Amino acid sequence: MTKSIRLFALLFLLVVSTATQAQKSKKATTAAPVTGTVWSVEKATAWYNQHKWITGANYIPANAINQLEMWQADTFDPATIDKELGWAKGLGFNTMRVFLHSIAWKQDPDGFKKRVGEFLTIADKHHIQPLFVFFDDCWNKEPKAGKQPEVKTGIHNSGWMQDPGQPASADSINFPGLEKYVKDVLTSFAHDKRILLWDLYNEPGNNGKGDSSLALLTKLFEWARAVNPDQPISAGLWAWDLENLNAFQLTHSDVITYHDYQEAPLHKTVIQILKANGKPLICTEYMARTRNSRFSTELPMMKKENVGAINWGFVAGKTNTIYAWDTPTPDGSQPVEWFHDIFRPDGTAYREDEVILIKKLNGVL
């Protein structure tokens, strides 16, 4: 079989697995009810239909190299956030995907939650309903509090930090502390209508972790169900060969979130197969220009398919995501074509034609 056929066959099997496991879950919850249960297709669809077409970007301020620099008290910058979310509003975006970090909470739980609340107030002012990400298996393995690393010239996301880190995420001795963090934040904002969704774990199994991330992912869903927030919970599919993780994520998510950086025809096929699950779809990462995943091809297709669309990258800045994942530029010169991001730090568009397209599709032009 070709790579594409294997991919689609796997996705189909995952969808079948989801339907089967959902029936088992329904029987189990009838016998032994729990505080929160996986949303039905009907409930998830009703929730999705209450919103306009969901569009936005993954967001971190241009002056933050990672989640800790965004959220720690000394470097939290509401003025920059306000300015940049104003640019998002101008595009007609109605959501932004934002990563939290457990270490920022551990330093000062009340202060951290106050800053999250301030962020939500700013976002609400711009008619943006963000989704928050708890844990993450991507990039640097050992996050530390305090001053964050300097930018590495020309290297994509040189300072981004995993949460809780590696090998910390695999050691169950850390789970009680993480449980306190997750439940505290979820309980504090469980009924906050300014929040769209909780994205519990970004790319579980990345950085070679594989199925070792399943233990924490399982606990994370248990903790979230115990709080039972009003907002849906999910964990996005991202690597089709992680079969056990994918099956768990599909079965336990209220709405289906996923990542796709393929060209539009292959991405569309993934959408068509995932739709067999019956639940609404939100693509929480896409758009890598040099891989031919572009606004011009992806965004109109996702709108036509009624799939939420959240691209990676908003304002070019310290994350260096104008550079490709695997193509460092040691002299720091601008790449021939930006990999991610929409705006320069001064708010001017990298490509005006993209901005016009986004505005038109969002009905603000």
The pLDDT value given to residue 138:
98
The pLDDT value given to residue 104:
98
Question: CA 253, CA 230: separation in Å to the nearest integer?
Answer: 14
Question: CA 234, CA 133: separation in Å to the nearest integer?
Answer: 10
Question: CA 75, CA 61: separation in Å to the nearest integer?
Answer: 11
Q: Kindly report, residue by residue over 159-214, the tens digit of the pLDDT.
A: 999 999 999 999 999 999 999 999 999 999 999 999 999 999 999 999 999 999 99
Burial label, 331 (beta-carbon count in 10 A; 0-12, 13-18, 19+): exposed
8 A C-beta contact, residue 123 and residue 130:
yes
The residue behind tokens 């002056």 is 63
Cβ count within 10 A of residue 252? 23
8 A C-beta contact, residue 276 and residue 15:
yes
Q: Kindly report, residue by residue over 140-162, the tens digit of the pLDDT.
A: 999 999 999 999 999 999 999 99
Q: Kindly report, residue by residue over 76-126, the tens digit of the pLDDT.
A: 999 999 999 999 999 999 999 999 999 999 999 999 999 999 999 999 999
